[in-house]
Amino acid sequence: MSQLHLTTPRADGFRMPGAIEPKTRCWMIWPERTDEYPFGARPAQKAFARVATAIATSDPLTMCVSARQFKNARAVLPPHIRVVEMSNDDAWMRDVGPNFVVNDRSGAVRGVDWIFRSWGGIYSPYDWDDQVARKVLDIENLDRYRAPMVCEGGALQCDGEGTLITTRQCLLNPNRKVGNTDAEIEQALIDYLNVDKVIWLPRGCPFDTTDGHVDDLAVFARPGVVLLTWTEDRSDPQYEVSHETFEILSRETDAHGRHFTIHKVIQPNAIEWTAQEAAEVDPVDGVAHRVAGERIAATYVNYYIGNKAVFVPTYEDPNDAAGLAAIQASFPQHRVVGVPGCRDILIIGGSIGCITQPQYAGGRRG
């Protein structure tokens, strides 16, 4: 059983690793909400299975599945993928799972359990999702910190060396703050991720239903190197956000005083809900809440970095090849693997990074 610590990771010598660091496992949740995913969630399930099967070539993977979907998921997924029964409300493991933190001296691993409130109350209930982090840590017999603030993993980009990038639009949003001041939120990030510098971007990508998660916009490839979603189309709302972010990060330094190397990654062409997709989502309380022509925030940098490869979403888009090439240039020690058919994940508001949670390996530095 996981032990709850009333101290903080910073006080105990634990830190949030950078995404490039070694992992022991990847965690996912099986999708099934027919009021979110069209066509009875079947296309989404096939897409999640493709992602899981690809990642499992690099890292061990566990899929968390509700009781009613257990047999289906077990039949669809390869036998080497671990399937565990776990109650859940939705399928965004990056946001509801624990952020694993490591102690470089002892080699120990623990988890940070943030308060989850469904991205400011997008859906209800969400109490099962708020329990996912604790359950994952119980399964792994890893100790836990319960952080005193509302947060989702997709809002955080740590370099593993003391620098955090996030957005004001998300974590300082009134629908997240829940009684905390801005200063208290920044201090909690410092204490529970053990970072020395928080870089606050004003906002995330347009059309992002999470209120600006940074993992669609600007992500660390490794310390000092940031990949930035990019467009040169001045008529696209993404243009202003990407150029604003580039200017901010160009002036910034990390916790060690280093300037960032910024690589621009072209975004896919605009992806929108089709009339058929919108019609095939179950209504909520009799009301259809998806609209044909509704645009979704699409990006290639919402990826998963495994031990052997980087798994990048592709959308059967003319920009897929350029997006993959830009990411490969930043990961000379990894294969970059494009996972096809990720539109069926994207239309609900996220991609590969959003549905995966890396469990980092403990180890000793130096």
The C-alpha angle with vertex 214 and arms to 46 and 277, in degrees rounded to 5, equals: 35
Distances (CA, A) of 203 to 172, 222, 274: 10, 22, 27
Phi, psi of 23 (to 5 degrees): -125, 150
Residue position matching structure tokens 């308060």: 115
Q: Amino acid identity of 64?
A: C
CA distance 152 to 92: 10
Bridge partners, 359 (sequence order): 25
- Residues 6 or more apart whose Cβ sits within 8 Å of residue 178: 115, 117, 149, 150
DSSP-assigned letter for residue 261: E
Find out whether the peptide bond into 268 is cis, omega within 30 degrees of 0.
no
Pairing of strands 225-230, 218-222: antiparallel
Is residue 342 flagged as an active site residue?
A: no
Catalytic site residue from 26, 64, 170, 354: 354
Q: Give the strands of the sheet with 218-222, arranged side by side.
A: 218-222, 225-230, 261-266
Annotated active-site positions, please?
A: 354
